[in-house]
Structure 1
Amino acid sequence: MLNNEILSHFLLTVFYFFLITVFRGKFDYSLIFLWLGAFLGIFLLDLDHFIYWFFSHPEKEDSKEAKRILKEKGVGGCFELISLLKKTHQDHRSLIFHTATFQIILLVLAFFVISSGGSLLASSLVISCNLHLLKDEWQDYFKNKQNLTDWLFWQIKGFSKERYLSLYLISVSLIFIVLTLFLSF
């Protein structure tokens, strides 16, 4: 399951940033920074699974197993950690980077980074992170809306999550498209 998810994130990012590259029309050394940011952004948000294991939920069994692997094998246990993540990533709720709150912060950050005209690496990184979140959100929206509301809105209490889910997804998707257009031109 995780292999398919990684592959789908990778392929979507390659396709999306290929379109950005074509629309930019600049085929120079700056493409290195565009694509480096794109590839870093694919995996950056998944660091919250490691935060889940080692900081926010250290009492869970898979967290204890991850700590054991890291203690015994160090960085040599990377493949074993990835294998553990394959088995347990669907059980991870309360991830700090996979939330509506973080997504809004990320969109605001993307606006400032892109509109400042500064680093192409930083601009493509925040766009790639947003693309990662949107892909996960729309995938769960069509597969299991309840699962989506559980992980996307776990920090927000006191409102009808299901009622505003479609409006939220359409809104953040449109903002994302506008930000991408700024990056592309």
Structure 2
Amino acid sequence: MPKEKWDNQFSEKPFTYGKTANAFIQEKSYLFPSSSKIACFAEGEGRNAIYLAKLGYDVTAYDLSSVGLRHAILLAKENNVTIKTVEADLTKTKPEKKYDGAIMVFGHVEKTNQRKFITNIIDSVRSGGYVLFEIYSEKQIKYDTGGPGNIHYLYDPIDILNWIKPYECSHFYYGEANRQEGYRHTGVGHVIQVVIQK
């Protein structure tokens, strides 16, 4: 979705997806070594970034919405932590390869941009680092529990497997998951989860 739509969304409904980190990120964050520099992509209003900062990581949140990132800074202050923020469209901008790990949660872009988006996230991480992400699969279109509601913004598991093929994959899940995240993710949906190590 375009930047303006996200800016409006976050302005009208602050903390659209709540203030609690995604369950998959909570489950797998132990993989990051202590003091790692972690990039959080498509991070919106910061719930995952703040969670990782509270664990002691050096966190940078990326999003195309300046409104979302402002809310992320407020949430960080509320939790007595500090994060860095970068306003960027990851379908157009390639971040530096300087992170020890990266996460992305429900970052949905048009099909024509998906490979570049995922590749840019992976490329931001140094050799040996972990990349974690959870996204809605194309099957989510049949569920009324969240996501963009447009199959052209959802992901094909075969595409994902092809894009991560060069890396060591320690976790791949394609199936249902219950998510209670704010008012936009409410119930059982159909997700793809990935953990790779470069």
Name the TM tier (shorter chain): 0.3 to 0.5
More helix as a share of residues: 1
State the structure with more CA Rg. Answer: 1
Q: Which has the higher contact order (CA 8 A, sep 6+)?
A: 1
More strand as a share of residues: 2
Return the TM-score normalized by structure 1. Answer: 0.37
